[in-house]
Structures are given as structure tokens and as C-alpha cells.
């Protein structure tokens, strides 16, 4: 069964450093997403991406964040200058098309710890 993959599974970084989280969405999917989940809290939407551009972003997704699809398979989330409060699990998701009951499939996540 096709699945979303993410690398690395864990990332530890110093405050102020840049991190890039990588995702390989399901191959025939067209819509890509990033969510985050701070420990003990709910899953929160960050950004959606379609046709090589951001289609929607949340208030969390400020200028420190960017997304890119550098080739036909990878989808990346970059945090330019990490803060302590960026520590969270980051989930990538993808979906095939935006229908009435669209299903987003989630990757296993990258656990980011900012020290």
C-alpha cells in the first residue's frame, strides 16, 4: 500500500539554526500539507501546497517557515531560525484531489527538538 514517508524521524537542533524536514508524498497525489503537534496538544494545520504554490497557510506559518517541492517526489518544510517553541512533531500529508470527502494520508512524522 502506498504511503507517505518522512525523514529524518528525529532531529535535534540548537535554537537559531535552520532545519529542513523532508517528505515523499504518495506518488500520484497532487495536494501536500504540513501539520504540527506540540507534545500533549492537538494536531495543527500549517500549510497546504498545490501546483507548486502555497494554497493556504495558518497563522503559525510565519516568515520563518517555507515549503518547496524541489523535484517530482520530495516536499520539504524549512524553518529558517528555529525557536524553542518550534519543538513538536511535524507531519506531512498528501491527498489525491480535493473532493467532497477528501482523505489526507499522513506520514510517520519528524520529531523536532530545539535546544
Partner 1 sequence: RKEVEQDPGPFNVPEGATVAFNCTYSNSASQSFFWYRQDCRKEPKLLMSVYSSGNEDGRFTAQLNRASQYISLLIRDSKLSDSATYLCVVSPDSSYKLIFGSGTRLLVRP
User: Which residues contact partner 1 (rule: CB under 8 A)?
Assistant: 31, 33, 35, 41-45, 48, 50, 55-56, 58, 89, 91, 93, 98, 100-109, 111
Nearer to partner 1, 78 or 98 (CB): 98
C-alpha cell read off for 81: 531560525
Nearest approach in angstroms of CB 83 to partner 1 is 22
Nearest approach in angstroms of CB 16 to partner 1 is 27
Nearest approach in angstroms of CB 110 to partner 1 is 11
CA distance 68 to 18: 15
Q: What angle do CA 36, 94, 40 make, to 5 degrees?
A: 20
Nearer to partner 1, 18 or 68 (CB): 68
CA distance 82 to 36: 14
| 65-68, strands of its sheet edge to edge | 5-7, 19-24, 75-79, 65-68
Nearer to partner 1, 17 or 55 (CB): 55
Amino acid at each position: 500500500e502506498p504511503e507517505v514517508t518522512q525523514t529524518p524521524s528525529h532531529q535535534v537542533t540548537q535554537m537559531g539554526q535552520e532545519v529542513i524536514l523532508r517528505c515523499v508524498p504518495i506518488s500520484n497525489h497532487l495536494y501536500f500539507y504540513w501539520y504540527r503537534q506540540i507534545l500533549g496538544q492537538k494536531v495543527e494545520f500549517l500549510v497546504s501546497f498545490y501546483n507548486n504554490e502555497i494554497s493556504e497557510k495558518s497563522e503559525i506559518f510565519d516568515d520563518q517557515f517555507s515549503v518547496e517541492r524541489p523535484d517530482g517526489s520530495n516536499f520539504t518544510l524549512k524553518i529558517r531560525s528555529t525557536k524553542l517553541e518550534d519543538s513538536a512533531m511535524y507531519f506531512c500529508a498528501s491527498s489525491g484531489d480535493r473532493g467532497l470527502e477528501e482523505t489526507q494520508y499522513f506520514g510517520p512524522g519528524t520529531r523536532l527538538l530545539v535546544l
